[in-house]
Structure 1
Amino acid sequence: MAGSLLLIDDDVDVLRSIGKYLEQIGYEVARELTGEAGVSSYERLRPDAVILDLQLPDMDGMEVLERLRELDALVVLLTGTDDVQTAVEAMQAGTAENFLTKPVSLDHLAAATARVIDKSRLRRVNRALLAHKSGRGVDAMGTSSMMKDLAHQVGLLAQSDRTTVLLRGDSGTGKGWVARLIHSLSPRAKAPFVHVSCGATSAVTLDSELFGHERGAVAGAEDRKQGLFEIADQGTLFLDDIADLPPELQPKLLKMLETRTFRRMGGTREIEVDVRLVAGTSKDLQAEVEAGRFREDLYYRLSVMPLSLPPVSDRPKEDRVALLHRLHHELAAELSDGPTTISPDAFDRMLAYAWPGNIREMRNVLERAM
């Protein structure tokens, strides 16, 4: 796969024609008709780059651009002749990577897209290296022998880049962070990392999200949609809350794991992808199997390499200290105002607290305090 793109344009014909061309030259393309939907899709999919039309029905295009840049997106603008000056100013300000005027030259589109995809992948690799060097890699998991052993297992799993991993742990124990760490330290680091939750979603919606659909396969499906497995090709897909996967989709996921192929909803063609699957659960999957809510064969496929993450309350004091420092450091870098230090009294109270909400609760408390 050449890379993943998000195309945002209110013109259905543009979405169809440009999207089709980009798919023909090897890209995975997600499409949205509005700015709000585009921002939401970017947050969920995290594609390599965004191609954004400045003229949208629900939001000013520059507002959409600003929101995408806050999410660290790399954006190529599509403009009419009246918007050229605005696009130039966006490039000069560093909020846009490039711009193309409509009607778009497909050769220019291909060249601009290739450049921004290369930049996205280089940035991803550099960040993975910096994270490792700055202590946000496996070393950031803790200093106790228990957490060092866990970090060693994560490092080994990262290099076994075709092995399915099952992350087990209470809600908030950092399963998503570990899944992303496994990806960033693996040979797949240059390719997409896609995170999706199986919880609180209907079977039809999740089927469409994971595997995509053909035109007309579901109500309102005016265009073919690529699923997250296609978007994550060559990369990693993290399926959180795997115990909540609807029974109707469990055979389809099992087939995907066994053959690395699937069909879109309403499709007849077998699509082959190379995706490393990491699953997460806060439930006892073995108990779900015994209760008849989860397929036993799928359970064994997912638990090839299980990894259990302990709750914060079970971690030694030195690990809780390291965790507080890491989260505080990350938040200080993200927030432009607020105190940059924690008082000794507040720090002691945080260490003594049980943190039933685990790392998620700890981060939320720190963020409110800052």
Structure 2
Amino acid sequence: MADSVLLIDDDADLRRALGAYFDRIGYEVAGAGTGEAGFEAFDRLRPDVVILDLHLPDVGGLDVLEQLKSRGGSVILLTGQGDIETAVRAMQLGAEHFLTKPVDLNHLAAATARVGDKVRLARQNARLRAREHEHAGLESLGVSPAIRELGRQIELLAASERSTVLLTGESGTGKGWVARVIHHLSPRASGPFVEVNCGGLSATFLESELFGHEKGAFTDAKERRQGLFELADRGTIFLDEIGDLAPELQPKLLKVLETKTFRRLGGTRELTVDVRLVAATNRDLMAEVRAGRFREDLYYRLSVMPLRLPAVRERSRDDRLALLTRILSDLVPQMPGCPSVTSAEALDRLLSAPWPGNVREMRNVVERAMILARGAGQIGLEHLPSDLRRSGGSGGGDRRHQPQALAEVERVHIEKTLKFHGGNRTRAALELGISRATLINKIKVYGLDV
């Protein structure tokens, strides 16, 4: 995929000349004649490099520079005046280069290329950090043989970087999370990860989103726009709810998978991309094929390496504990002042609930409970939704007594075992008959200080 550049200059002739030059040397080019138009174009296109004129009719160039930097832009500043003081101020505000007009095109192209390289390196470093985080997350999937096998399959899929992956399972089982893990553990981790939901979008809009469009392709196509397949070049594209893909788009997707080429909407030029596809659905795609709603050839092309994610209710209690621990670990940094541990009663209800909405529902309930428990030492039964508070026990008497007693016995027993072994988690886990990872999860959830 070509690097992109946004030209912000009120001189239309200069914009056209620079645009033609950058287009000729392989850049995707967009232009704006004012600061406000530049902001709008930047937010919409997220270009790799912005070339900005210092003197604009509506907003001062340095103010535009400051705004663009705050939005993550990389800016080269152009001016007709060789003002040293302004140049120093521009560099202090974060300009990558400060060039005077008339600018030498070769010099400008070299500067733009250097900035583009710097942007790519920063993105790669961010993705590598994300990769390390996702690998840690994979270890927190769970400890049962079935979940460990699922983790092993995810690692195998990640290593097979050119194979298409089809993730199946009920809504909310974490298919999007697994897609990101596959990307971040793969050789493509330094490339982009692009996600799109195929459900609820018109065929024309989704075609434009996936494949882009040329200027004038339809009424509102005011300028050329890259599609998500272009943006995902050398990386991964995740198509969620693939079962909802419009019939007229299915042959176009099949063509991309088979030839790695496509055309923008309204375009004539064949574009080539190097993209891995991960698709997900909660539908029975084979049934959709039999019903004539999904192409059989596309189904077989997608299901080269299918992977089914189990519903939360199908997972062991220890696996649900690992899932709950990961959710709490993810939410704690985002919610300062909220507790990260639960009471024995609350923990038992969270681990015993059927969770028809799966991981998504569990995360929402835990986040709500953390908000309600802000300032408290732990998440208690009173912070859970009423249906979970009512769900404990079966039979007469105090329905809450047995779940509370079992969880409390476990907490006390773990604490005593750890103290007996001087805090050595490996020896304590052996005595308790559980894995070290499960013991660590229980220590976190119970908030034990040993």
TM-score normalised over the length of structure 2: 0.67
Q: How many angstroms apart in 2 are the aligned matches of 1:206 and 1:12?
A: 35
SS of aligned partner of 1:75: coil
Report the residue type matching 1:201 in the other structure. L
Q: How many angstroms apart in 2 are the aligned matches of 1:10 and 1:292?
A: 53
Q: Which residue of 2 aligns with 1:242?
A: 242
The correspondence of residues 18-97 of structure 1 with structure 2, limited to 5 A, is 33=37, 35=39, 39=43, 51=50, 66=70, 68=71, 74-77=72-75, 90-91=93-94
Structure 1 residues 78 and 313 mapped into 2: Cα distance closer, same or farther (>3 Å)? Answer: farther
The correspondence of residues 191-340 of structure 1 with structure 2, limited to 5 A, is 191-335=191-335, 337-340=336-339
Q: How many angstroms apart in 2 are the aligned matches of 1:289 and 1:16?
A: 50
Decide whether the 8 Å contact of 2:247 with 2:294 is kept in 1: yes
- Tell me by how many angstroms 1:85 deviates: 8.0
SS of aligned partner of 1:355: coil
Structure 1 residues 165 and 212 mapped into 2: Cα distance closer, same or farther (>3 Å)? Answer: same
The alignment of Structure 1 onto Structure 2 pairs a total of residues equal to 348
Structure 1 residues 11 and 182 mapped into 2: Cα distance closer, same or farther (>3 Å)? Answer: farther
Greater RCO structure (CA 8 Å; 6+ sep): 1
Q: Which has the higher strand share?
A: 1
SS of aligned partner of 1:226: coil
Q: Which residue of 2 aligns with 1:140?
A: 140
Decide whether the 8 Å contact of 1:77 with 1:87 is kept in 2: no
Structure 1 residues 171 and 204 mapped into 2: Cα distance closer, same or farther (>3 Å)? Answer: same
Q: Deviations over 1:323-362 (max 9, x none)?
A: 1111111111233x22232222332221122222211122
Decide whether the 8 Å contact of 2:97 with 2:111 is kept in 1: no
SS of aligned partner of 1:328: helix
Report the residue type matching 1:124 in the other structure. R
Moved more, 220-229 or 165-174: 220-229
Moved more, 80-89 or 269-278: 80-89
Decide whether the 8 Å contact of 1:28 with 1:231 is kept in 2: no
Q: How many angstroms apart in 2 are the aligned matches of 1:30 and 1:170?
A: 42
Decide whether the 8 Å contact of 1:7 with 1:15 is kept in 2: no
Q: Which residue of 2 aligns with 1:153?
A: 153
SS of aligned partner of 2:351: helix
Structure 1 residues 296 and 52 mapped into 2: Cα distance closer, same or farther (>3 Å)? Answer: farther
Moved more, 346-355 or 251-260: 346-355
Q: How many angstroms apart in 1 are the aligned matches of 2:11 and 2:348?
A: 57
Q: Which residue of 2 aligns with 1:108?
A: 111
Q: How many angstroms apart in 2 are the aligned matches of 1:50 and 1:366?
A: 41
TM-score normalised over the length of structure 1: 0.81
Q: Which residue of 1 aligns with 2:341?
A: 342
SS of aligned partner of 1:167: strand
Q: How many angstroms apart in 2 are the aligned matches of 1:39 and 1:116?
A: 17
Report the residue type matching 1:158 in the other structure. A
Q: Which residue of 1 aligns with 2:121?
A: 118
Decide whether the 8 Å contact of 2:183 with 2:189 is kept in 1: yes
Report the residue type matching 1:285 in the other structure. L
Q: How many angstroms apart in 2 are the aligned matches of 1:157 and 1:12?
A: 51
- Tell me by how many angstroms 1:285 deviates: 0.8
Decide whether the 8 Å contact of 2:169 with 2:309 is kept in 1: yes
Decide whether the 8 Å contact of 2:175 with 2:280 is kept in 1: yes
Q: How many angstroms apart in 1 are the aligned matches of 2:176 and 2:23?
A: 29
Larger radius of gyration: 2
Q: Percent identity?
A: 50
- Tell me by how many angstroms 1:199 deviates: 0.9
Which consecutive residues of structure 1, in runs of 5 or more, have no partner in the other structure? 69-73, 92-96
Structure 1 residues 302 and 332 mapped into 2: Cα distance closer, same or farther (>3 Å)? Answer: same
Q: How many angstroms apart in 1 are the aligned matches of 2:229 and 2:57?
A: 29
Decide whether the 8 Å contact of 1:203 with 1:249 is kept in 2: yes
Q: How many angstroms apart in 2 are the aligned matches of 1:89 and 1:57?
A: 22
- Tell me by how many angstroms 1:34 deviates: 6.4
Moved more, 119-128 or 208-217: 119-128
Q: Which residue of 1 aligns with 2:168?
A: 168
Q: How many angstroms apart in 2 are the aligned matches of 1:157 and 1:5?
A: 32
- Tell me by how many angstroms 1:37 deviates: 7.3
Q: Which residue of 2 aligns with 1:71?
A: none
Q: How many angstroms apart in 2 are the aligned matches of 1:89 and 1:52?
A: 17
